[in-house]
């Protein structure tokens, strides 16, 4: 029962935030999100002490649906990522004066509840419900509090909603078929199915459409850049920091163990599509003039490499993918927060209209540089651990994939350092750049500290996720 209390805490937090009113909403949301993170650490201690945190209870008799939650090391790692980033995202909004603040902060907590449920669910239909619930709050956050032209924003958000919902319906169809075969939606029962190659192919494709859109993987990426650009920064952080990890996590938890033959039979195609995203995202990022859009395409390149690692079907690939998921979550939240800090002072996201910030705020510039270096996988950063492991797994499959995947580091270093040069160095902008506030500086320091701590000592996370990854590989190689 312990893990259910976490979901209840986030759900009650969303309700309490909404009822608290606009003035107190941000503080109440921060209080509950910190409480959820603290409770996640408590659950981690129980798990490491050998306590079984899995929970299963009968829910619906016909069809046979259980309220089942699985809390192994992999789920716990994603739960910690969610509950660690949520208070950071809430805290990042303290410098903004949101209209109807109680609603946006309540939606952030409700989305955190849905994403946590997605990572924990061990029943296919329960998982699908949480998966869809996460879509509702981000739709309203991007639509009502987004920036730019209202009509363009509506089109971008509607496209995202339809794409994601459409892909999810294919996944639901796959679950219905699996239920007809197993008589249950339980993850353990679905793992025991012995499907033919043809059956696995169609199940794999049904899941792939949902996950490829959410991640996103080329050619299902067309919604991403516009939504990242048009959404408010807290929405972009939720999307890039946590929500896209739902797709990557689901590949490991649901797709690969249930349809391993399809994954093995089309491995080169899957890795090829993922690596294509690395190259495409990097090249398009080179041409961007808008800072948020550049970061959006940079994120596309990085998640392409993560997906490639997952589809290597090796221990190093799956483990590296999870490590990079977590590292990418903190890095991308930090980078989008930097973009928000600059926007608060210059009211622009065009890189050409920035410049000379280093001379006015050297400490902020130093924090930004560290985030840039983490993004390009500088040794001693958390990103380096994940990317090096993924690249090594690609090398085990095919040298060409490893070389092409490594372009994300080379091209990433070029466009990120070029962006940093134009935005932070050079002549001082005519408009003065106020130094970062205590709240802004504290959040940046926390993110940088996480990235360098786990870059130097990633063993706790590796030890946490390895047993789950090894168990998944047993099902893949059965």
Q: What is the pLDDT of residues 37-60, one digit of tens each?
A: 999 999 999 999 989 999 999 888
- Is the confidence at residue 430, as pLDDT, over 80? no
The token pair that represents 265 in the structure block: 């039979």
60 vs 472 pLDDT, higher one: 472
Q: Are residues 159 and 220 in the same domain?
A: yes
- The count of structural domains within the chain is 2
At a CB cut-off of 8 Å and minimum separation 6, what does 476 contact? 256, 257, 260, 263, 313
Q: Are residues 225 and 289 in the same domain?
A: no
- Name the percent of the chain lying above pLDDT 90: 74
Residue 341, pLDDT score = 94
**Final residue belonging to a domain, choices 231, 261, 291:** 261
CA angle, residues 239, 244, 245, in degrees to nearest 5: 125
Which of 200, 191, 182 lies closest to 70 in space, CA to CA?
A: 191
Chain centre distance of CA 112: 12
Q: Are residues 148 and 277 in the same domain?
A: no
- Name the percent of the chain lying above pLDDT 70: 100
- Is the confidence at residue 347, as pLDDT, over 80? yes
The token pair that represents 309 in the structure block: 């690692």
Q: Are residues 253 and 279 in the same domain?
A: no
Mean pLDDT confidence for 357-363: 89
The strand pairing partners of 69, in sequence order, are 55, 121
Q: Please provide the average confidence, as pLDDT, over all residues in the chain.
A: 92
Whats the size of the chain, residue-wise? 478
**Final residue belonging to a domain, choices 230, 261, 292:** 261
Q: Is the link from the previous residue into 422 a cis peptide, with omega within 30 of 0? A: no
Cα–Cα distance, 169 to 128 (Å, whole number): 9
Task: Indicate the burial class of 171 (C-beta count within 10 angstroms; 0-12, 13-18, 19 or more).
Answer: buried
Q: Are residues 149 and 213 in the same domain?
A: yes
Cα–Cα distance, 349 to 369 (Å, whole number): 18
Give the DSSP letter of residue 57: E
Distances in Å between the alpha carbon of 224 and those of 159, 236, 240, 308, 452? 10, 10, 10, 19, 28
**Final residue belonging to a domain, choices 235, 261, 287:** 261
The strand pairing partners of 58, in sequence order, are 66
Mean pLDDT confidence for 288-300: 91
Q: Are residues 247 and 185 in the same domain?
A: yes
Residue 1, pLDDT score = 60
Q: Are residues 305 and 330 in the same domain?
A: yes
Residue 311, pLDDT score = 95
Residue 88, pLDDT score = 97
Cβ burial 286-302 (10 Å sphere, 16+ → b, else e): eebebbbbbbbbbbbbb
CA angle, residues 334, 335, 340, in degrees to nearest 5: 95
Mean pLDDT confidence for 445-465: 96
**Span 115-174, pLDDT tens digits:** 999 999 999 999 999 999 999 999 999 999 988 778 888 988 998 999 898 889 999 999
Mean pLDDT confidence for 71-80: 96
Domain that holds residue 68: 1-261
Distances in Å between the alpha carbon of 338 and those of 331, 332, 477? 11, 10, 43
- Is the confidence at residue 222, as pLDDT, over 90? no
Q: Are residues 217 and 276 in the same domain?
A: no
Q: Are residues 228 and 350 in the same domain?
A: no
Q: Are residues 256 and 271 in the same domain?
A: no
Q: Are residues 111 and 38 in the same domain?
A: yes
Q: Are residues 355 and 412 in the same domain?
A: yes
């Amino acid at each position: 029962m312990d893990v259910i209390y976490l979901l209840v805490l986030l759900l009650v937090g969303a309700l309490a935030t909404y009822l608290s009113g606009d003035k107190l909403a941000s503080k109440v949301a921060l209080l509950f999100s910190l409480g959820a993170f603290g409770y996640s650490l408590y659950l981690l201690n129980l798990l490491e002490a050998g306590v079984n945190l899995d929970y299963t209870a009968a829910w619906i008799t016909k069809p046979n649906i259980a309220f089942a939650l699985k809390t192994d090391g992999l789920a716990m790692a994603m739960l910690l990522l969610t509950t660690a980033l949520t208070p950071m995202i809430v805290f990042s909004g303290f410098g903004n004066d949101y209209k109807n603040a109680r609603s946006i902060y309540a939606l952030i907590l409700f989305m955190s509840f849905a994403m946590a449920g997605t990572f924990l669910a061990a029943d296919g239909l329960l998982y699908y419900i949480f998966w869809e619930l996460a879509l509702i709050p981000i739709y309203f956050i991007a639509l009502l509090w987004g920036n730019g032209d209202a009509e363009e924003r509506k089109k971008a958000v509607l496209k995202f909603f339809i794409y994601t919902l459409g892909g999810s319906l294919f996944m639901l169809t796959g679950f219905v078929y699996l239920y007809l075969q197993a008589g249950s939606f339980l993850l353990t029962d679905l793992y025991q199915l012995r499907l033919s190659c043809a059956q696995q192919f169609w199940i794999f494709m049904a899941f792939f459409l949902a996950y490829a859109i959410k991640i996103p993987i080329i050619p299902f990426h067309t919604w991403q850049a516009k939504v990242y650009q048009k959404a408010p920064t807290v929405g972009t952080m939720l999307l890039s920091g946590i929500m896209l990890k739902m797709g990557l996590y689901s590949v490991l938890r649901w797709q690969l163990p249930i349809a391993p033959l399809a994954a093995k039979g089309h491995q080169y195609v899957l890795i090829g599509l993922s690596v294509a995203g690395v190259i495409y995202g990097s090249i398009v990022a080179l041409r961007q003039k808008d800072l948020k859009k550049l970061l959006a395409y940079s994120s596309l390149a990085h998640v392409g490499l993560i997906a490639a690692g997952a589809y290597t079907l090796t221990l190093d690939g799956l483990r590296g993918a999870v490590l990079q998921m977590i590292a990418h979550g903190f890095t991308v939240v930090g980078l989008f927060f930097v973009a928000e800090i600059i926007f608060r002072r210059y009211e622009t996201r065009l890189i050409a209209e920035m410049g000379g910030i280093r001379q006015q705020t050297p400490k902020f510039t130093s924090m930004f540089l560290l985030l840039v270096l983490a993004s390009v996988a500088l040794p001693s950063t958390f990103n380096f651990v994940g990317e090096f492991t993924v690249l090594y797994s690609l090398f085990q499959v095919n040298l060409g994939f490893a070389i092409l995947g490594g372009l994300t580091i080379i091209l990433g270093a070029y466009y990120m350092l070029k962006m940093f040069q134009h935005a932070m160095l050079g002549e001082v902008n005519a408009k003065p750049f106020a130094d970062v506030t205590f709240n802004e500086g504290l959040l940046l320091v926390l993110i940088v500290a996480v990235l360098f701590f786990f870059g130097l000592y990633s063993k706790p996370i590796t030890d946490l996720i390895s047993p789950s990854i090894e168990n998944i590989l047993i099902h893949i190689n059965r």
